[in-house]
Amino acid sequence: MALSRRHLLAAPAAFAATTLLPGPALAALAAQTPALPDLSDWEAVRAQFALDPAYLHFASFFIASHPTPVRDALEGYRRAIDANPFLFVERAMFEDDAHNLPLQVCAEVAEYLGGRGDEVCLARSTTEGLALVYHGLPLQPGDEVLTTVHDHYSHHESIRLAATRANATMRKATLFKQARDASVDEIVGNLKAAIRPQTKVVGVTWVHSSTGIRLPIRDIATMLRSLPDPPLLVVDGVHGLGAVDDTVGTMGADYFCAGTHKWMFAPRGTALVWANATNWGRLRPLVPNFTEIESYNAWTEDRPPAGPANAARMTPGGFHAFEHQWAMAAAFRMHRQMQRPRVAARIAAMNDQLKQGLAGLPKVTMHTPRAAALSAGLVAFEIEGVAPTDVVKQLLARRIIASTSPYAVTYARLAPSLVNTPDEVDAALRAVRVLAS
């Protein structure tokens, strides 16, 4: 007998449950998760957030405040699970595909990414996604993973841990001298010059949280594909997804990893990895999955799963904070309703306003490129004579929430996002002007 999804890891009692499917629970859930509000103006979008109005929030990229549609979806799923944990989770995870909530989430996410639902792996953080990819790659002794000096701790450590295990090596290239005046040619040229015959994988970050620079991923991918033996391209996309108007499915990344709990406003503890079927097929899974029936069938038959890996097989299994994972769909729906080009234009306009203001301050050095094409939603800067941590402290004393970049060389950061207004950007500029005077 062919096993269905509902048999996957379900206890025998699950069979008795088929006649008691929680259809009413699903209907109740739909009632608890109302349709999206009108999000056609930015005040309406801001009103979705329960942020403390006593502060101006310029560090929303750090971790999301859940907007109302996400809070409603989370609460709906939480109530439904609390009311009937076995039946609700059983049906949502292991029943027929039509009621499978992870499949619905993947389909919703894929619509936004410009890919297919079966290309999406749901994870819990950018860090976890990067670790899954690098540890999944079949690195051989002597292979090299080339990354850059500019990437985040989570990216470097994912590479280092995976390379160490495989007796492979990692190396860090420098893409530019100064982020603020880097050019596409400089970035692509420096990366190309750093590639060696043993370079099998290149790992870069789309939008850097150190300086706010946005890398030209499409140009990098085109350059890599022009090489005789193209390395695979892994992209940490966390600060581009939800802030930049680009289509992940066509941008040229072989593996795209991003937390969705930053610019996407999806529930905290949610993330995705996107790859096409060929690239998923190259990987070796690390964590047993609860999503692919072939893995379960193979286990019951005491054999390895047949065929290449895929997104479902790579998806970390075990029971999770399901209400968080399933409520991801509400955030992606919200972004689709706001429209990616509008979101990106709003973020770019306020960041440009901030950069223009900072550029006029004599004691301020900005590290983020002025060009919109090479930046996104983060502005990194220094004030002569004031340590970045003191800049952040002094802004906080004025109820402005900024942050410092967690890198060996650290800067102060302000990140205008959809929770801000142009007036708030002016207020932040006035405060920086006082500190820089």
Binding of residue 416 to ligand PLP (CB under 6 A): no
Binding of residue 169 to ligand PLP (CB under 6 A): no
Cα distance between residue 141 and residue 285, in whole Å: 19
Q: Are 124 and 260 in contact (CB under 8 A)?
A: no
Binding of residue 325 to ligand PLP (CB under 6 A): no
**DSSP string for residues in 352-401:** HHHHHHHHT-TTEEE-S-SSGGGB-S-EEEEETTB-HHHHHHHHHHTTEE
Could you tell me the two tokens for 119? 């290309």
For ligand PLP, the closer CB: 271 or 431: 271
Binding of residue 126 to ligand PLP (CB under 6 A): yes
CB of 162 to ligand PLP, least distance (A): 16
Q: Are 265 and 70 in contact (CB under 8 A)?
A: yes
Q: What track of x and - describes contact with ligand PLP for positions 259 through 298 (by CB under 6 A)?
A: x-----------x---------------------------
- The H helix count followed by the E strand count for the chain is 18, 13
Could you tell me the CA-to-CA distances from 397 to 161, 391, 394 in Å, in that order?
A: 40, 10, 5
Q: Which one of 106-114, 120-128, 196-204, 425-433 is the stretch in contact with ligand PLP (CB under 6 A)?
A: 120-128
For ligand PLP, the closer CB: 216 or 357: 216
Q: Are 238 and 258 in contact (CB under 8 A)?
A: yes
| CB burial string 340-374: b at 16+ within 10 A, e below | bebbbebbbebbbbbbebbeebeebebbbbebbeb
Size of the site for ligand PLP (CB under 6 A): 13
Q: What track of x and - describes contact with ligand PLP for positions 222 through 261 (by CB under 6 A)?
A: --------------x-xx-------------------x--
CB of 167 to ligand PLP, least distance (A): 26
Given 100, 125, 147, 158, the residue binding ligand PLP (CB under 6 A): 125
Which residues, 142 to 161, sit near ligand PLP by CB under 6 A? 152, 154-155
DSSP 273: E
Given 100, 127, 148, 315, the residue binding ligand PLP (CB under 6 A): 127
**Where on the chain is the footprint of ligand PLP (CB under 6 A)?**
125-127, 152, 154-155, 205, 209, 236, 238-239, 259, 271
